[in-house]
Chain A
Amino acid sequence: MIKKGTGMACMFYPNGSTGKANPAGAFIKINHDGTAVLNIGATDIGQGSNTCMAQIAAQEMGLKLSQVRVVTGDTELTPYDAGTGACRVTYIAGNAVQKTARKAKRLLLDAAARKMGLIHSGQLVIEEGEIFLRYWPAKRMTIAEAATYSERILGQPIIAVDSYSPATMPLEEESGQGMPFEVSIYATQIAEVEVDTDTGEVKVTKLVAVHDCGKMLNPMLVEGQIEGGVVTGIGYGLYEQIIEDPVEGGIRNPSLATYQIPTSLDVPEDMVIDCVEIPEEKGPYGAKGVSEPTCNPTAPAIINAIYNATGVRIRDLPATREKVLFALRELERKEEG
């Protein structure tokens, strides 16, 4: 028989490492031709952070995305970064990039102001690749012209450096009290399942995932991260487990034939993904990181949905077909007895 049910789970999770400095550094140079190079220590591990960091730099300096090159993955050429983990790249490295880009932009505008004969650069803006006076837009020049003027005439190549580390403190040893993080993110997920009471199979038929990441800098990357996290969570909830020999030790299933990760047929066709966009004032352009904990609510939402569908409460992950079927039998026996 097929039994249907839904379950919910909520979570909160920080951006950044627990109670310690975890800075990100950034270098930027604007070339004389109006392109820029961004050097950051944060590594893109496949999640697309190079794109996101380039977006922040480009937006801040008024460049196109294609005009920013990102140099990363080199302990000699890039400044220090605490690493791609702790859901910290968008928020912390993003802040470092924005701060640095702002400095580079200031140098660029100062050069433009000098070329235009302005007292200072206060009224200059950059739009569509051009620098002009807000109240006398006829007076304008390209970013390349300003950069060339700075580097080749004034003798001041445009180079900027900055960094960011969240304001945190270690926890008190005995009480664990303190402020270990600067910002946190939140999420609620709702899973709908069908439980096959003849086999114990749990099919996740729908998953609603609503997350918080402040303002979305790149909605496509955000959605990709949430989808991926949900699949990870389904694996954690229903399929994946390292089996170790209880006597001799050693992993008995170190292969993808016996260690079961979900396939495309094991994930819901109906995935409803959304973000509540409450801007984070401390984040770059209001953003916070989203990706790491997207898997956190999925497994408990599924487990709660199984209970809702069948009355069976799985308390040890994963809820394999075998475990669910045996629990169903146990419940039947109790109800009959």
Chain B
Amino acid sequence: MSEYQVLGVRTPRTDALLEASGQVVYGADIVYPDMLYAAARYSDYAHARILSVDVSEAERSPGVRGVITAKDVPVNRFGYKFQDQPVLADYKVYCKQDAIAVVAADTEAQAQLAAEKIRVEYEPLTPVLDPVEAMKDEVLVQEGSSNVVAHIKLRKGDVGAGFAAADKIVEEELSTQKVEHVPLEPHVALSELRPDGQLVITTSTSRAFAYITQLLKILRMDMTRLRVLTPAVGGAFGGKNDVSLEPWVALLTLKTGRPVKMVFSRKEEFFTTLRHPYRMKYKTGLKRDGAILARKIEIISDSGPYVCLGKDTLTKASVHAAGPYNIPNISVDSYLVYTNSALGGAMRGFGVPQVAFAHEVHTDTIAHELGMDPVEFRRKNLFYDRGEAATGQLLDSRAMRATFERALELEKKSNEGREEPRA
């Protein structure tokens, strides 16, 4: 084939050889002269008032060149729509994954040793860890805000009328767990001050412009003074969507004048955002022949102590919660709830894996309740060429049934010539 036919062919990645031979430069591979290494001190409590932070011993520790705490952060709250997340904990820790101080030292070991020497005095507060418990607002995670930080509503048609006309109503509760992205490459960030005064942050991210937008606010800079570079990234899956260690290395460089590098350990990798666990209630009204008349859904999402991308993920989840089915009447109520548990954020599927699990398991449950084959039930109800989503939007959904029929065909074909399964 001509070298000029580039599309539609099985072209190997342009970096395949370099990747396979270990020659791609990832953040952790980068070394600057005079570079310092950073290590963070994390909270001992899931919820506590901070009475004092004493870094004097850490500052005297061998090799230490600088320590930062909340006092060093120009604007110590960040977030997209809700600025509720501290760069470093100031008067309170909201979860055990909160960092309180970060040390820069000549070696990684020295930085870690010094971080352990930071003395923090706390007044422990009752943590609220269960989202349903948190909805009662008996303990507030963020002062001045209900723990129910967002309520997303979707109303299509009239679910009441749909249920009233139904021959059968099926209800089901489903829930999903919190999971981590587990990229091969943990988070890494480096910062250096260029001679012209520009602060350059090199970081493993999937959204350089979202990062710089946050960092400009935190550091009170403009885009002539701040620049974000992305080296090769070893997987993100949504876990590198949100600022974490970047402001720390930046502030340590500003404090010490030297380049600073930080690479998260595998343990710290679990301290960054996770996929939100959802608790979901599904209620579906049906005709005896299997037609779906109405679906009512309630979702509770455990956000952890900050909103981060919790509202966006929950909105996307709500829009997709009813599944790719022709349902005239849909109602969705989704609640984003603050807790003192580990922070939720973006992860591959962005809220939809949770509801896809729910709507597909629910589909099977309904089929069995109706005495129908789940495949036939889907064939009856799946979007046709122009499916109407829960938002009322008409979709070009020609591919829905095409994938459905092809999958059945391939499944059947793959069984040809196979032995009969043992009973």
A binds B: yes
Chain A positions near chain B (C-beta within 8 angstroms):
2, 4, 6-14, 17-19, 41, 43-46, 48, 50-51, 54-56, 58-59, 62-66, 70, 72-76, 80-86, 127-129, 171, 173-181, 183-190, 192, 206, 208-212, 215-221, 229, 232-233, 235-237, 240-242, 244, 246-251, 254-256, 259, 261, 270, 272, 274, 276, 278, 280, 285, 292-293, 295-297, 299-301, 303-304, 307, 313, 315-318
Q: A251-B342, A304-B374 are in contact. Are A127 and B407 (CB under 8 A)?
A: no
A177–B223 touching, CB < 8 Å: no
Distance in angstroms between the alpha carbons of A72 and B378 in the assembled complex: 43
B391–A171 touching, CB < 8 Å: yes
Within 8 A of A (CB), among B1-30: 2-15
Distance in angstroms between the alpha carbons of A301 and B359 in the assembled complex: 11
Task: Give min CB distance, A334 to chain B, whole Å.
Answer: 16
Contacts of A54 in B (CB 8 A): 14
Q: Which 4 A-B pairs have the closest CB atoms?
A: A249-B46, A83-B207, A73-B230, A176-B154
A249–B403 touching, CB < 8 Å: no
Distance in angstroms between the alpha carbons of A207 and B383 in the assembled complex: 23
21 A–B pairs (Cβ distance < 8 Å), ordered by A: A7-B374, A9-B360, A18-B319, A19-B315, A46-B233, A64-B4, A70-B14, A73-B208, A75-B208, A83-B208, A84-B207, A188-B404, A212-B402, A232-B237, A237-B357, A249-B46, A249-B47, A251-B97, A251-B270, A254-B267, A293-B348
B129–A249 touching, CB < 8 Å: yes
Residue of A nearest to B358 (CB): A300
Task: Give min CB distance, A322 to chain B, whole Å.
Answer: 14
Q: A178-B393, A300-B361 are in contact. Are A210 and B207 (CB under 8 A)?
A: no
Contact check: which of B183, B209, B407 meets A189 at CB < 8 Å?
B407
B356–A285 touching, CB < 8 Å: no
The digit string for B208-230, where 1 denotes a CB below 8 A from any CB of A, is: 11101000000000010001111
Task: Give min CB distance, A59 to chain B, whole Å.
Answer: 5
B177, CB-defined interface residue at 8 Å: yes
Contacts of A74 in B (CB 8 A): 208, 227-230
B236–A45 touching, CB < 8 Å: yes
The digit string for B228-261, where 1 denotes a CB below 8 A from any CB of A, is: 1111111111101100000000000000000000
A242–B180 touching, CB < 8 Å: yes
B375–A45 touching, CB < 8 Å: no
Residue of B nearest to A54 (CB): B14
B318–A176 touching, CB < 8 Å: yes
Distance in angstroms between the alpha carbons of A316 and B357 in the assembled complex: 10
Q: A186-B399, A293-B352, A315-B361 are in contact. Are A12 and B320 (CB under 8 A)?
A: yes
B364–A7 touching, CB < 8 Å: yes
Contacts of B205 in A (CB 8 A): 43
Q: A45-B233, A50-B15, A303-B361 are in contact. Are A58 and B6 (CB under 8 A)?
A: yes
B392–A72 touching, CB < 8 Å: no
Instruction: Knowing that A255-B266, A315-B173 touch, tell me 19 more A-B residue pairs with CB under 8 angstroms.
Output: A2-B422, A10-B404, A18-B316, A45-B236, A65-B14, A70-B14, A82-B207, A84-B206, A174-B155, A179-B393, A188-B404, A188-B407, A208-B407, A208-B411, A218-B8, A242-B178, A278-B402, A313-B361, A317-B357
Taking each of B152, B155, B356, B359, which has the highest tally of chain A beta carbons within 10 Å of its own beta carbon? B356
Residue of B nearest to A317 (CB): B176
Distance in angstroms between the alpha carbons of A212 and B163 in the assembled complex: 33
B400, CB-defined interface residue at 8 Å: yes
B63, CB-defined interface residue at 8 Å: no
Contact check: which of B241, B323, B387 meets A83 at CB < 8 Å?
B241
Distance in angstroms between the alpha carbons of A188 and B323 in the assembled complex: 12
Q: A242-B179, A276-B403 are in contact. Are A296 and B312 (CB under 8 A)?
A: no
Distance in angstroms between the alpha carbons of A13 and B323 in the assembled complex: 10
B332, CB-defined interface residue at 8 Å: yes
A75–B233 touching, CB < 8 Å: no
The digit string for B345-387, where 1 denotes a CB below 8 A from any CB of A, is: 0101110110011111100110010000011001000110001
Contacts of B422 in A (CB 8 A): 2, 4
B223–A318 touching, CB < 8 Å: no
Distance in angstroms between the alpha carbons of A218 and B253 in the assembled complex: 42
Taking each of B2, B206, B323, B398, which has the highest tally of chain A beta carbons within 10 Å of its own beta carbon? B206
A45–B360 touching, CB < 8 Å: no
Residue of A nearest to B216 (CB): A75
B287, CB-defined interface residue at 8 Å: no
A175–B153 touching, CB < 8 Å: yes
Task: Give min CB distance, A77 to chain B, whole Å.
Answer: 9
Q: A242-B178, A248-B127 are in contact. Are A300 and B10 (CB under 8 A)?
A: no
Residue of A nearest to B212 (CB): A75
Distance in angstroms between the alpha carbons of A256 and B365 in the assembled complex: 34
A259–B230 touching, CB < 8 Å: no
B206–A43 touching, CB < 8 Å: yes
Contact check: which of A8, A11, A75, A256 meets B209 at CB < 8 Å?
A75
A8–B374 touching, CB < 8 Å: yes
Task: Give min CB distance, A199 to chain B, whole Å.
Answer: 17
B356–A300 touching, CB < 8 Å: yes
Contacts of B350 in A (CB 8 A): 85-86, 292
A59–B391 touching, CB < 8 Å: no
Contacts of B95 in A (CB 8 A): 249
Task: Give min CB distance, A67 to chain B, whole Å.
Answer: 9
Contacts of B390 in A (CB 8 A): 176
B403–A186 touching, CB < 8 Å: yes
B165, CB-defined interface residue at 8 Å: no
B178–A244 touching, CB < 8 Å: yes
Q: A188-B407, A315-B361, A317-B176 are in contact. Are A254 and B227 (CB under 8 A)?
A: no
Contacts of A206 in B (CB 8 A): 411, 414
